[in-house]
A and B are shown apart, each in its own frame.
Chain A
Amino acid sequence: MAYAASATARPPLLDRERTRNAAASVGLFLAVLIALWALWEGFKAFGESTGLRLGQFEANDRTMPHIHDIVSTLFEPSRRNGPLLIDVLWDAALFTAKEAAVGFTLGALIGFVLGALLAHFVLLQRGFLPYIVASQTIPILAVAPMVVVWVNPRLPPGLKDWGAVAVISAYLTFFPVAINTLRGLTSVDPRALELMRSYAAGSWKVLWKLRVPAALPFIFAALKIAAPASVVGAIIGELPASIQNGLGGAILNFNQYYVTAPTRLWATNLIAALLGISFFLVVLLAERLAVRRAPEHVA
């Protein structure tokens, strides 16, 4: 099973080497950031000076605001005598994070159970897998209003509206987890399986002692895809649920006023991206903790 986790196996490093590596990755990160900034500003400057037009697109302060303007707009009042934009967006991000976190957890659990069931019952797998795949071909934009109509009336007052959004977010989360769990659980080395059987291990034991540990790298790969997707699901779900307190509501508002304040929409997108990235980082951290020692331990 070592091949499944070989990517995480690293030779032991000296402290000095480790520091140098860390410095190198920080440096690389900054270099890429600067390169992206230069690309954006360079293209904008080039477009503005040459009057270049790509179809309807023309580079100017409205279509491509300066990066520093986008960042500085965060620290300006959101309106006359109002709180700073970053405070408003921080509250909105927390609200969306709550929806996404619940949706992600729900989706991950459903995905795992579904994957485990499909892995054990081949008949189920043949019968249901096509429908699970089909569920993801229906655009989330079409699913979201239906979820609100069906789920919302059945929710207790404390969960109203945002609970429906969590379900929409779970809808985007469960699929990669289910598929990768299925793949992970069935990718066990046959020799290891034979060994377990020769010890007369029941299928429950085989699942927890052999299949799940072997599937962990697969599952975490799926969770890393699902985490940012759950944020996307939450943002999209806020629109049909008529929630104004989250990032989805903010994006809708700033989209409407894009002409007069383009930097605000960009700033909101920036916050939304940061939220998705932090979800990803939490999963990454969890993976480090759970799968760090995998190579030595798997059979």
Chain B
Amino acid sequence: MRSRKWAFIAVLALVAASLAIVGCGGGDEDDEAAAEDLTPVTLQSKWVVQAQFAGYYAAVDQGFYEDEGLDVTIRAGGPDIVPEQVVAGGQAEFGINWLDSLLATRDQGQGLVNIAQVFTRSGMTEVTWKDTGLDEITKLEGKKVGVWLGGNEHKLFAALTKNGLDPQQDVEIVAQPFDMNLFLSREVDAAAAMTYNELAQVLEVENPDTGELYTEEELNVFRMSELGTGALEDGIFVREDWIADTENQDVAKRFLKASFRGWIYCRDNPDSCVDIVLENGPTLGAGHQAWQMNEINDLIWPAPLGVGIMDPESFEITNQIATDYKIIKTPATDDAYRTDIAEAALAELEDEDTTGEDWEKPEVEVTPGGE
């Protein structure tokens, strides 16, 4: 029996040793001490780390939040994360999601409210190959039209309807996965693409016939924002009962002020913001993020009302689409958003250019594979 007892001890030692070894890897260095005087708040992002959220990562990196007495933790999103649920459950004070998604959550009775509409226009497009001759959206009749289902299809459906096509009958809707394979292999005639992501993914691929990258000249790009069905996308929301508290209103104002400074910084220093994003997302491609940063800036700037202020007209378009496609049962009212906190934040940013009227979109070179 003795030998087995020793064997047992050896096993335990082995397990303990392997635990110790892996335990040493990736240790957390919590610099809690430095953050003692700061108010800790959490932002739940809509998706994984990428330049889509550069302004917030920049505000952390540049110390803008700290200037406002905030210690901000950004929680990355993912396919299993619904920011509205995270905020409603109290795990984060602030959340980012598309406006129609927020309206749907409100429609189901959750008390959430938009306090800043950061993206002033939609980045969703539908693309076709130029050589197919499908250069107008009306020509999609009878064609295979790819789009992401499960809540992301409504802008396209509204655009088709607006142009006299019934999405259920006049076109063949194909469920599109979150990549552009179907489009590249021409199994669909048209595919959905965000300007800041999937569009670049097409341009970063080599055309096997020419050995060169695909170019924008080979594509027709139908922008939802130009078709008048650009429902609003990334905005910041909070819990209604949380924001009712005046102290929290102050926290929110400071949060928005620093976040806006982050976005202004990214407008004026896009290269630095790309580096910040890459530090937070070690597996991302630099070229793709540079493209994305530029396109995201294009969705925010110019912001004629000042960055983060909801445009009532765009809100109505979003509301209309959400109602028409039964994302919500009853049309949303103006209670779904408030601009007072963002306005108070902007008032403190008088020295900065908060509208970006003079911003012009620079050219960003596409890199093979987005590297």
Question: Taking beta carbons and an 8 Å cutoff, which residues of A are in contact with B?
Answer: 56, 58, 62, 78-83, 88, 91-92, 94-95, 97-98, 101-102, 105, 141, 144-145, 149, 152-153, 157-158, 213, 239-240, 242-245, 249-250, 252-261, 264, 282, 285-286, 289-290, 292-294, 297
Contact = CB atoms under 8 A, between A and B. Distances in A.
Contacts of B143: none
B78 A259 contact: no
Nearest to A160: B28
A94 B48 contact: no
Interface stretch (B158-166, B279-287, B345-353): B279-287
A88 B283 contact: yes
B179 A259 contact: yes
Interface stretch (B14-22, B225-233, B246-254): B14-22
Contacts of B278: 79, 82
B285 A252 contact: no
A171 B135 CA distance: 53
Contact of B285 (A101, A240, A257): A257
B25 interface: yes
B284 A259 contact: no
B7 interface: yes
Given A249-B283, A257-B370, A282-B14, A242 B25 contact: no
Contact of B25 (A91, A157, A289): A91
Interface in B1-42: 1, 3-4, 7-8, 10-11, 14-15, 18-19, 22-23, 25-26, 28, 30, 32
Smallest CB-CB A-B distances: 9 pairs: A94-B25, A95-B26, A240-B80, A97-B22, A260-B204, A286-B11, A242-B76, A253-B283, A260-B369
Contacts of B8: 290
Contact of A101 (B18, B78, B181): B18
Contacts of A264: 283
Given A141-B80, A239-B80, A256-B48, A245 B371 contact: no
20 contacts: A79-B284, A79-B286, A80-B287, A91-B282, A94-B22, A149-B89, A157-B30, A242-B77, A242-B78, A244-B49, A249-B76, A250-B283, A252-B78, A254-B283, A257-B201, A259-B205, A261-B371, A264-B283, A293-B7, A297-B1
Interface in B158-205: 178-182, 184-185, 187, 197, 201-202, 204-205
Contact of B78 (A82, A94, A152, A240): A240
Summarize B's interface: helix, strand, loop or mixed.
loop
A260 B285 contact: yes
A179 B78 CA distance: 34
Contacts of B79: 239, 252
A264 B75 CA distance: 24
B19 A253 contact: no
Interface size class on chain B is 35 or more
Given A79-B278, A79-B286, A259-B202, 12 more contacts: A56-B187, A62-B181, A97-B25, A242-B78, A242-B81, A244-B49, A244-B282, A245-B282, A253-B283, A260-B369, A261-B369, A292-B7
A158 B4 contact: no
Contacts of A250: 283
Given A95-B26, A257-B370, A244 B76 contact: yes
Contacts of A78: 282-283
A105 B19 contact: yes
Nearest to A298: B4
A144 B288 CA distance: 31
Contact of B11 (A257, A289, A293): A289
Interface string B268-285: 000000000010111111
Contacts of A282: 14-15, 18
A261 B370 CA distance: 8
Nearest to B12: A286
B91 interface: yes
Contacts of A252: 48, 78-79
A259 B181 contact: yes
Contacts of B286: 79-82
Nearest to B3: A293
A289 B76 contact: no
A264 B205 CA distance: 15
B295 to A, nearest CB: 16
B71 to A, nearest CB: 12
Contacts of B91: 149, 152-153
A88 B26 CA distance: 12
A260 B283 contact: no
